[in-house]
Amino acid sequence: MQYKYNIITFGCQMNKNDSERMESVLCNMGLEKVGTPEEADVIIMNSCSVRDSAEDRIFGGARNFAKLKKNKPNLIVAVTGCMPGRDKDKKLFKKLQKVDLYFPTADMVKLPDMLCKLNPDFRKINLASTNLLSTDDKLVLGLDSEYLKITPKYKNDFQAFIPIQTGCDHFCTYCAVPYARGREKNRPLQDILEEIKKLAKNGCKEITLLGEIVNHYVALDPEFFSKENKYSKNDFAKLLWEVNQVEGIERIHWTGPHPIYMDDEVIDALTLPKQINFLHLPVQSGSTEVLRKMNRKHDREFFIDLIKKIKAKKPGISIGTDIIVGFCGESLKEFQDTVDMYKECDFDISYPAKYSTRSGTVADKAFKDDVSIEEKKRRWFVLQDLMKEITYKKNQKFIGKTASVLVERYKDGICAGNSSEMRLTHFSGDKSLVGKIVEVKIKKADTWLLEGDMV
Ligand code: 5AD
Ligand code: SF4
């Protein structure tokens, strides 16, 4: 029998990349990927804990999949990702109905073993064609106990996400990540460079480096930096320089940095030739008092000056940000500080979020979540409307200019991909352009879409 799996991924790019690694484990076990949970024998939900609404979707999913078990008693439902990571006292698990496996991300190396325990039939899968080793009573990955060493099943040949770090030690007071993903752990430089070089050989053009504070990267094996490296102080800037030297890689992107680690070398690295013309730099609030309560370790002026410095170094760079509205005690004046800062920084895009208390965090213990949900919604719309207005205006400036687009998709005569400024761009073309970088002359610009002709 051919067993089938379906993975549903919530949350950030880190989770998407973790799912790519799990796919690789399941494919190596001989399982086949299917498009819907209804067709699957193993359903895995890769959860996100950033907000209540994200966790609610996992509770809902578990309820729905429990119903599928009536017709398919051997169905295995699993939850991994941030929820099991932060749920030390299993309070969340108790609310999940009929979930068979509940494991933190790093335990994906034990997936073959865990699945075989639930259904011994999995052992009958022909292991000869896989890179799994069978031992007496355990089925283990023939790779390593370190999950980041599992080669992911990349979504396509020309783009890849590369985690350089997991976890975070910063403890912003609102954030569940340090609890869900543990302390900051940096990946060896040699592993990162080897993965990127291998990808480049296989035709990969765009690399996105991932980390919770990506610009706080520290190489455990700095001897692998080249002697010619342009930078000397900041390991992340040095890493960017190294990736720039990899033949075949044409675009480099990274997310997410923390403002306090944007030193002169990292700012300079924004001018390296393969760096895309976009930076995502979360600010969270434009009020010094709110930033202090969030434990962001910088004030409003520091951030505004930083944006000025970045724009002076790389004129024309597009900048995106994350903002939380309605954090504990956020007054109308403090919210207005955020609105004013938004205008001053002239962001190209932002991801506003309504504050949602995360159990176990400092904010949950020390402050009152006292901005009403209606007021949070109102503030969210104020920022959303402001973003739309500014983004629309800024997009008009692309008309008549040429954008460099990595084509990701083709449908009905239209090619689609992101420009170097991370603007979704459409143009008439054919399927053979997928995976190529194409120059497109922009003739029409909307809030979320640029349209043009290939030059
Ligand atoms: N409530 C709302 N938004 C949050 N974020 C992180 N934690 C919370 C929370 N408790 C947002 C931040 C972060 C993004 C990934 O999610 O803006 O940058
Ligand atoms: Fe969370 Fe702050 Fe760490 Fe980012 S820096 S992951 S917001 S604790």
446 inside domain:
yes
Per-residue pLDDT at 116 exceeds 70: yes
Q: Is residue 335 part of a domain?
A: yes
Q: Is the same domain home to 335 and 411?
A: no
- Nearest-Å Rg of the Cα atoms of the chain is 23
Q: pLDDT per residue over 238-265, tens digit each? A: 999 999 999 999 999 999 999 999 999 9
Are 25 and 39 within one domain?
yes
Buried b (16+ CB within 10 A) or exposed e, 288-317: bbbbebbebebebeebbebbeebeeebeeb
Q: How many CA atoms lie within 13 A of 233 on its CB side?
A: 9
What separation in Å is there between the alpha carbon of 49 and the centre of ligand 2?
Answer: 13
364 in contact with ligand 1, CB cutoff 6 A: no
CA quadruple 163, 165, 166, 170: dihedral, nearest 10: -140
How many domains does the chain divide into? 4
Query: Per-residue confidence at 97, pLDDT binned at 50, 70, 90?
Result: confident
pLDDT digits (tens, 9 = 90+) for 74-86: 999 999 999 999 9
Let me know whether 390 and 406 are in one domain.
no
Reported as a single tens digit per residue, the pLDDT across 383-442 is 999 999 999 999 999 999 999 999 999 999 999 999 999 999 999 999 999 999 999 999
- Residue-averaged pLDDT of the chain: 94
Last residue of a domain, one of 347, 362, 395: 395
Percent residues over pLDDT 90 in the chain: 89
pLDDT number for residue 142: 45
Residue at 262: amino acid letter: M
Assess whether pLDDT exceeds 90 at residue 134: no
Instruction: Retrieve residue 67's tokens.
Output: 């119903």
CATH of the domain at 329: 3.30.750.200
Pair 372, 439 in one domain: no
Residues 207, 316 within the same domain: no
Are residue 131 and residue 203 in the same domain, yes or no? Answer: no
Give yes or no: residues 189 and 219 share one domain. Answer: yes
Domain at 162, CATH number? 3.30.750.210
- Which ligand does the CA of 281 lie closest to? 1
Note the ligand closest to the C-alpha atom of 371.
Answer: 1
pLDDT at 254: 98
Whether 130 is in a domain gets the answer yes
Q: What share of the chain in percent tops pLDDT 70?
A: 95
Looking at the predicted structure, is the pLDDT value of residue 147 above 60?
yes
Confidence of residue 126 (pLDDT cuts 50, 70, 90): low
Q: Based on the domain organization, do 58 and 139 belong to the same domain? A: yes
174 CA distance to ligand 2 centroid (A)?
9
Q: Is 141 in the pocket of ligand 2 (CB under 6 A)?
A: no
324-369: pLDDT as tens digits: 999 999 999 999 999 999 999 999 999 999 999 999 999 999 999 9
Ligand 2 center to residue 168 CA distance, Å? 6
CATH of the domain at 102: 3.40.50.12160
Q: Tell me, yes or no, whether 270 lies in a domain.
A: no
Q: How far is it, in rounded angstroms, from Cα 141 to Cα 229?
A: 36
CATH number at residue 417: 2.40.50.140
Q: Which ligand has the minimum distance to the alpha carbon of residue 259?
A: 2
Choose one of 148, 167, 193: the last residue of a domain: 148
- Contact 172 CB / ligand 2 (< 6 Å): yes
21, containing H or E segment: helix 13-28
In angstroms, what is the span from residue 420 Cα to ligand 2's centroid?
Answer: 26
87, pLDDT greater than 60: yes
**pLDDT score at 143:** 42
Stretch among 33-47, 136-150, 395-409 having the lowest mean pLDDT: 136-150
pLDDT for the residue 28: 86
From the alpha carbon of 284, which atom of ligand 1 is closest? 17
Question: Does one domain contain both 143 and 158?
Answer: no
Q: What is the span of the domain harbouring residue 81?
A: 4-148
Closest by CA to 254, choosing from 231, 275, 229, is: 275
Whether 288 and 379 share a structural domain: yes
Ligand 1 atom showing the smallest separation from residue 354 Cα: 2
Is residue 175 a part of any domain in this protein? yes
Pairing of strands 402-411, 437-445: antiparallel
Residue 272 lies in a domain: no
> From the CA of 74, how far away is ligand 1's center (Å)?
37
Query: How far is ligand 1, taken at its centre, from the CA of residue 237, in Å?
Result: 26
Q: Is residue 263 part of a domain?
A: no
Work out the pLDDT band at 290, boundaries 50, 70, 90. very high
Domain C-terminal end among 148, 178, 198: 148
Instruction: Looking at the CA of 11, name the nearest ligand.
Output: 1
Cα 45 to averaged position of ligand 1 atoms, centre (Å): 20
pLDDT of residue 131: 58
Is the domain of 128 the same as that of 10? yes
- Choosing from 13, 15, 49, 50 the residue with most ligand 1 atoms within 8 A of its CB, the one to mutate for a pocket test is 50
374 and 347 together in one domain: yes
pLDDT of 144 strictly over 70: no
pLDDT tens readout for residues 169-207: 999 999 999 999 999 999 999 999 999 999 999 999 999
Q: Is residue 299 part of a domain?
A: yes
